[in-house]
Amino acid sequence: MNGRFDPWQLDLHGHRVIYRIAGSGPPVVLIHGMVNSSRHWEAVALRLAADYTVIAQDLIGHGDSATPRGDYSLGAHAASIRDLLAVLGIDRATIVGHSLGGGVAMQFFYQFPQRVERMVLVSSGGLGREVSPMLRGAALPGAAALLWLAANPRVAAGLSQVGDRMRERGSGKGVYLQAIARALQPLQRPGARKAFLHTLRSVIDAQGQRVSARDRLYLLGPIPTLIVWGARDNTIPVAHGRHAHRAIPHSRFETLARAAHFPHLEDPDGLAAVLMDFLQTTEPGHIDDGDWGRLIAPHSPRSRVLEPAA
């Protein structure tokens, strides 16, 4: 594995955006999940970079990008990625999204379908209500104070050490504890904690995930789609991925036995291999602006509105 995945800085609409780029060839965009960043894609990105141009952005409020007071919705994140790709001169790409990034990827497709060649959803949000109790709890009022305590560096370090010992004893829960510790580290900055809560509450409430793409998955029919899930995922159920696979015509579905909710960190070789096979064995899809209405029409029959009685 050779190459570098160095960060670059760009000013978009007056806000600092950090992104990483590596390799050459057809473009592949990697979208990280909540409290992750572009840096967490490095192991996968460098494996793909031999044959593809790989781009990963720190979403606004994440990593080293700015944490402004503003819009942290899926649509805002999708528009930011569109703007970055436009600045880089990239018209169309394969879009890969993990967890929250899967929801952003689907929203990107819904807003800019003509820019998507393939879609890959990795342990994706937005495909069902169920989500881990920890995330539901973080969406509750008053969570900011608890989040401040949990983000203490000593707490994160302690969780990581316990996770190490559990993994040494062969316990799969050690991976989960390490994932929590890893997620807490970026939240040590006050701006990042606020951005996290704004982002979280835009998609999750006390009942679970509040944003769903299930009613629009059929639109991905013309686009080669791969769904990948960690077999040991306790954050978002693998059943969500299986349902999406059934709903998206001609899609592929893969599980990674060694991974939980973070396949790009827990099994980067396995995820990269699945991605590479998908990229090499599918042709890019294409949806023109004029195709969009025809895709929707069979699912949206028109009916005459009856005039009120005189």
Residue 233 annotated among the catalytic residues of the structure: yes
Q: Distance between alpha carbon 87 and the CA centroid of its chain, in Å?
A: 21
Task: Tell me which of 65, 99, 123, 160 is the catalytic residue.
Answer: 99
Type of residue at 220: L
Residue 99 annotated among the catalytic residues of the structure: yes
Task: Tell me which of 233, 245, 251, 267 is the catalytic residue.
Answer: 233
Task: Tell me which of 124, 261, 264, 267 is the catalytic residue.
Answer: 261
Is residue 243 within 8 Å of 212, Cβ to Cβ?
no
Type of residue at 16: R
How many Cα atoms within 13 Å fall on the side-chain side of residue 18? 16
Task: List the structure tokens of 145.
Answer: 């104070």
Task: List the structure tokens of 31.
Answer: 């979208």
Please enumerate in sequence order all residues whose Cβ is within 8 A of that of 150, keeping only pairs 6 or more positions apart, or say none: 184, 187
Closest CA to 61 of 202, 264, 207: 202
Q: Hey, is 230 helix, strand or coil?
A: strand
Residue 261 annotated among the catalytic residues of the structure: yes
Active site residues: 99, 233, 261
